[in-house]
Structure 1
Amino acid sequence: MAQETPQSIAKPKTRTNVRQSKFGCFTCRLRRVKCDEAKPICSRCRKSRRKCQGYPIGAPSNSQARRDVTVASFSLDELGRTISYSASLERNQDKSRWQALACTALAEGFVGMRTGPDVAFWTRLIPQLTHSMPCVKEAAAALGASYEHQMLRRRSSASKFSALKQITAAVKRLQDDVVLLPSGPVPVFVACVLLACAETLGHRNTDALLHLRGAFAAMSLGQVPAAKGLIPWNDETSYTFQKFDIQIASYSSGGTPPMWQSDNIEDLQDLKSRPVTIETAEKALIRYLHTCYRFTSQAAEYRYRVKATQRSCLMMEQDRHIANLTSWLSWYRRGCSSSNLESESDRLKGHVFQAQCLSALIWVSTILNPYETAYDQYAVQFQEIVEHVEQALAVNKGPSSLPIFITGIGMIQPLWLTAINYRHSKWRSKAISLLRRCGREGPWCNYVEAASTEAFVRAEEGAYLASVRRRSQTAEMPFEISPEDLSEKDRMSGCSLLEVLESGDGSKKAVVQLTKCRDMETLLANANPDDTSNWVIWYETCELVCD
């Protein structure tokens, strides 16, 4: 047998035409493909929609070998055009990474959450303005830095400081543009919206609201005739702006939508004569929701003032809003049954729209009723909300390349309303479970709302179970609690998130204010229902588990 000589032993093949690196992500190493080492997620994992499992210890903090930041090609409008947004957005690599991350995160979202105008706005206009407008560049970098710290769990003091520093730089850059509007109101509006998103990701919702109010003020200065105070609602860009407007009012029960809208909205008879399309349905619903939330912000002041003379006029207007929402719901459902919607995505959007409509219908129907038991008659609607959201989330089971963050109204508010006001333990549990799967929707945070709702339910149901034990030592504990089990005096009245506290190690806690009426009849007889002597108010601190 011939012995092998050193010359006959094959040498391992080594590629000499590429840069060698040992710091590729674990996912690419398992797949045995070349990793471009982009941070926070490499391009191969993002394009193949795989979960990037991170980088080994010692990997560079950013992709030093690749200065150009590549953003995935975004799907545009119905014309089928696409753009490839691949450029070096800034010489500063951190800013480039943050800007690319912001554009990518805003372009993604749950299936069925956006229609054509939304897709065009977030996947065309935002990247273009980020590339060309300095104020939008800085604001996009601020959003990316905040997103990286909060959503990608970069829980270090340096990461938090970088996000706050970039937000400050963006505000400073925006100050001159707000006054002069050198390129018109739209870039300023977009920059303010991006800053609001950056603030709300850090749970600073008061600061976010200030940025949004600045955005609407810029639109008023640049587009709106001062004499009439009108906003062009037929424009597709302003149509997207309306959703920020509604988000403000839906998050705060006393908040008024800042955008002015004429009361001459589309007549119900004209709507019924038109075929159902997803764009027509959403535009009509957004207008109805806008006028509805403007009404509820005014009517909320008279919820416990049953002797006020203004209530009679408010009740007449309340009936009109109930009729609008009910008619939209029946028109949409009748149209869906007679003519199939074009795609599965359209049907999923329909589930989200119906949940939003049902939520607004319940809220406006009970806004002038001081009793918590008034919600019991809407059991069917509450159950439909849970079912619609369940179907919408069923197709979003797969892992997303980035954690979900959307800016407009979505599914959290209907689920929150259900979990708080529908006193059925089974459906409450389902609503809270679905809440945790919803991601972030503007100021609504899935794990924060779930934790605060659980605190509310524990306080309400715990007090009821304790009273059952006191009444009878031998009584069995109920397996399920239904609305019939809880009388008015057993029910809580309110749940408000005060602040979210973040410790140095990245753990978070939420401070929640819980409210209960001492005696409803005494309250209604009191000329000043806001008197704190009518209420039991206490605070709970909830540990937050970031899903």
Structure 2
Amino acid sequence: MARKGMQKVRTGCHTCKVRKVKCDEAKPHCTRCSSTGRKCDGYPRLPHGVYSWDELLSIRPIIPAVTSRHSSQESRALDFFRHAVAPAFSGYQDDDYFWLTLVTQASYHEPAVRHAVVAISAIYEQAVAAETEQCTPPQQQQDHHQAFIDSPAGRFALGHYSQALKQLAHTRDESVVLFVCILFVCIEILQGNQQTAIAHCRHGVVIFNNAKAKNLGWARDYLLPKFVAMSIVPYFFGNTPQNFPGLVNSDTDDSKPLTSLDACRSSLNLLVARAIRFIRTSDTCRYATVPAAMHSEQRDLLASLARWLQNFTAFQEISPPSHDAVNTHLMLHIKCLVSTIWTSTCLDPSSETACDQHLASFREIVRLARQVTAWEARKPGFARPKFVFEMGFSPLLYFVVIKCRDLDTRLAALACMADLSAHRENLWDLVHMFSIGWRLIELEHGVNLERAAQGSGGGGFFEYTDVAVPVPPDEMRVRDTWNSGGNEMRPGRDGRKVLHRKVCFIVLGEDARLVGSKQWVQLRLPGSGEHLLKW
């Protein structure tokens, strides 16, 4: 017999369906249930394509159970991402929402996202396993990566990466492209493909710059902060404002008070992105006549950074950091201090000695970093993540190691870098930075850190508090470094063969011109007293 009245609705909540009453379908809980004190058991899971991106962001997090439409291997990868990868990626940025909620939720509703997430999960699991595995004899990074690519797990991961690329080729939604672009950057970083990761980042920045604001919608609120943070990284790896675009129309009004931790982080990242572009621009004119506009931009940047720190201090007084956010607050303060020192000295042709005027700020950075170390020590069972997606502590503390010439302060920064940094922070590799910093200190101060560390009981770090070690003269200071070759097994100081990397140290020559001095630098595993054998 035909039903009378309205057509049957199949999208109501489970509770109203059982009660056989009309559901008003309010989200996240229907009003009909909540207004009568009943528990709303939620809504049936809808097929792919039902939710728009705006709906995905407005409803409560959806973490569906594994369904038969995913293979067991794919389902395991999605589950591993949610429980192991996403929490690690958040790092010290207090960024759980993007990785734990938004990415996880989108992976169940957007095929390109799902395939990218599966690839990330599989590659991350392999990278962590490779790092913790003991290998004798040691293998090179490329050997491990190639072995993974040739393995069933590698073919599985790269197959899903390929599927994500194919899915993305058919979408016209720029917001989806930008979302998946972030995941592609992550995939390439995990594989050690620096230039490809930067190329994906450049592509996303260009899309943002060319898109009309009305077409981006939610992406501007949720994804733009990610691209601002990502756009900082390429300038540390050989890119310049001439070959890497900046994000346009992303300025912030630093005269307004800061009202949330997200606002503090976003506004500072915008300033840091602006500062690093300015610093890289200054590289070309430091030893020539500096245009007046550059000095004006420098003053404006320093004033903006000072206002940010003032507003941040006021925000902390009104809203003291929660237990989980203490380290994020400390990191933001450190990032502001590093940006201020670097911006202040970048136009000075004697910038190496100019840094000596900022010893108080360098010491403050170390003091804040030690607070993080002490705070982490209170957490039972705390383990640093192997990889974080955004800038962590390593590049910030490395700046102190290479630019502060007070031996005690830079040694303390080196120790904090070993204690706090993830093994990989975006494109930064802790072992390479730690090892280069170690050798640079030896060169500038004429000391043997390995011998001194052994004399202090083998702890690996020490202080010269009882020995007068002068600040190195300008002619002994290293101006810059870069990797000039691959890794090679060579005899260490104790005669054993250990892994080395060829590094070029830029110093002043006899005629006051910059010259390169190439050396094999022994790679060390920070904090363990052992030499690094492999990633």
| TM-score normalised by L of structure 2 | 0.70
Greater displacement, 232-241 / 78-87: 78-87
Deviation, 1:479, is: 5.3
The 5 A counterparts of 1:186-205 are 186-205=175-194
Deviation, 1:158, is: 4.4
2:291 partner letter:
R
Q: 2:347 aligns with which of 368, 374, 377?
A: 368
Q: 1:297 aligns with which of 280, 287, 290?
A: 280
Q: 2:396 aligns with which of 414, 419, 435?
A: 414
The corresponding residue for 1:450 is: 434
Deviation, 1:126, is: 0.8
The corresponding residue for 2:268 is: 285
The corresponding residue for 1:169 is: 159
Please tell me whether the aligned partners of residues 61 and 105 of structure 2 are also in contact (alpha carbons under 8 angstroms): no
The corresponding residue for 1:143 is: 120
Name the SS of the counterpart of 1:87 in structure 2.
coil
Deviation, 1:153, is: 2.6
The corresponding residue for 2:248 is: 261
Please tell me whether the aligned partners of residues 112 and 180 of structure 2 are also in contact (alpha carbons under 8 angstroms): yes
The corresponding residue for 2:415 is: 433
**How far apart in 2 are the matches of 1:191 and 1:78?**
16
Distance 1:107 1:145, change over 3 A: closer
1:278 partner letter:
L
1:536 partner letter:
G
The corresponding residue for 1:394 is: 374
The corresponding residue for 2:482 is: 496
Distance 1:319 1:82, change over 3 A: same
The 5 A counterparts of 1:70-469 are 83-88=62-67, 91-109=70-88, 113-115=92-94, 118-153=95-130, 158-159=147-148, 161-162=150-151, 165-166=155-156, 168-182=158-172, 184-220=173-209, 235-250=221-236, 252=238, 254=240, 258-262=245-249, 265-266=252-253, 268=254, 270-271=255-256, 274=257, 277-303=260-286, 305-306=287-288, 308=289, 310-337=290-317, 339-371=318-350, 372-397=352-377, 398-400=380-382, 403-437=385-419, 438-439=421-422, 440-462=424-446
**How far apart in 2 are the matches of 1:78 and 1:144?**
23
1:487 partner letter:
P
The corresponding residue for 1:515 is: 506
Please tell me whether the aligned partners of residues 513 and 538 of structure 1 are also in contact (alpha carbons under 8 angstroms): yes
Post-superposition CA distance 1:412-433 (Å, at most 9, x none): 2210100111112222222122
1:139 partner letter:
A
Please tell me whether the aligned partners of residues 491 and 516 of structure 1 are also in contact (alpha carbons under 8 angstroms): yes
Name the SS of the counterpart of 1:537 in structure 2.
strand
Name the SS of the counterpart of 2:177 in structure 1.
helix
1:516 partner letter:
V
**How far apart in 2 are the matches of 1:207 and 1:510?**
22
Post-superposition CA distance 1:209-244 (Å, at most 9, x none): 122223334445655589xxx999962332233211
The corresponding residue for 2:19 is: none
Where does structure 2 lack aligned partners over 5 or more consecutive residues?
1-55, 134-143, 450-463, 490-497, 529-535
2:444 partner letter:
E
Post-superposition CA distance 1:339-368 (Å, at most 9, x none): 351523344322110101111111111111
Post-superposition CA distance 1:185-231 (Å, at most 9, x none): 333333332232233233332222122223334445655589xxx99
Please tell me whether the aligned partners of residues 189 and 218 of structure 1 are also in contact (alpha carbons under 8 angstroms): yes
Please tell me whether the aligned partners of residues 251 and 413 of structure 1 are also in contact (alpha carbons under 8 angstroms): no
2:505 partner letter:
L
1:319 partner letter:
R
**How far apart in 2 are the matches of 1:84 and 1:455?**
48
**How far apart in 2 are the matches of 1:540 and 1:204?**
23
**How far apart in 2 are the matches of 1:80 and 1:430?**
47
Deviation, 1:84, is: 3.5
**How far apart in 2 are the matches of 1:89 and 1:413?**
44
Distance 1:510 1:281, change over 3 A: same
Post-superposition CA distance 1:157-196 (Å, at most 9, x none): 64353465456435533444554434x2333333332232
Post-superposition CA distance 1:59-112 (Å, at most 9, x none): xxxxxxxxxxxxxxxxxx999955445425975444443343334344314998
Distance 1:544 1:431, change over 3 A: same
Where does structure 1 lack aligned partners over 5 or more consecutive residues?
1-76, 466-476, 524-533
**How far apart in 2 are the matches of 1:232 and 1:92?**
31
**How far apart in 1 are the matches of 2:123 and 2:192?**
10
**How far apart in 1 are the matches of 2:475 and 2:183?**
44
Name the SS of the counterpart of 1:496 in structure 2.
strand
**How far apart in 2 are the matches of 1:210 and 1:497?**
20
| TM-score normalised by L of structure 1 | 0.68
**How far apart in 2 are the matches of 1:375 and 1:402?**
31
Deviation, 1:252, is: 4.9
The corresponding residue for 2:29 is: none
The corresponding residue for 1:44 is: none
Distance 1:201 1:479, change over 3 A: farther
Deviation, 1:279, is: 2.9
**How far apart in 1 are the matches of 2:367 and 2:178?**
36
Residue 485 of structure 1 pairs with residue 471 of structure 2: yes
Please tell me whether the aligned partners of residues 139 and 195 of structure 1 are also in contact (alpha carbons under 8 angstroms): yes
Please tell me whether the aligned partners of residues 348 and 392 of structure 1 are also in contact (alpha carbons under 8 angstroms): yes
Please tell me whether the aligned partners of residues 111 and 167 of structure 2 are also in contact (alpha carbons under 8 angstroms): no
**How far apart in 2 are the matches of 1:301 and 1:204?**
28
Please tell me whether the aligned partners of residues 91 and 389 of structure 2 are also in contact (alpha carbons under 8 angstroms): no
The corresponding residue for 1:69 is: none
Post-superposition CA distance 1:117-140 (Å, at most 9, x none): x33211112112322333223322
1:448 partner letter:
H
Deviation, 1:514, is: 1.8
Name the SS of the counterpart of 2:108 in structure 1.
helix
**How far apart in 2 are the matches of 1:173 and 1:499?**
34
What percentage of aligned pairs have identical amino acids?
Answer: 19
Deviation, 1:502, is: 9.2
Name the SS of the counterpart of 1:535 in structure 2.
strand
Q: How many residues align?
A: 431
**How far apart in 2 are the matches of 1:384 and 1:191?**
39
Distance 1:101 1:430, change over 3 A: farther
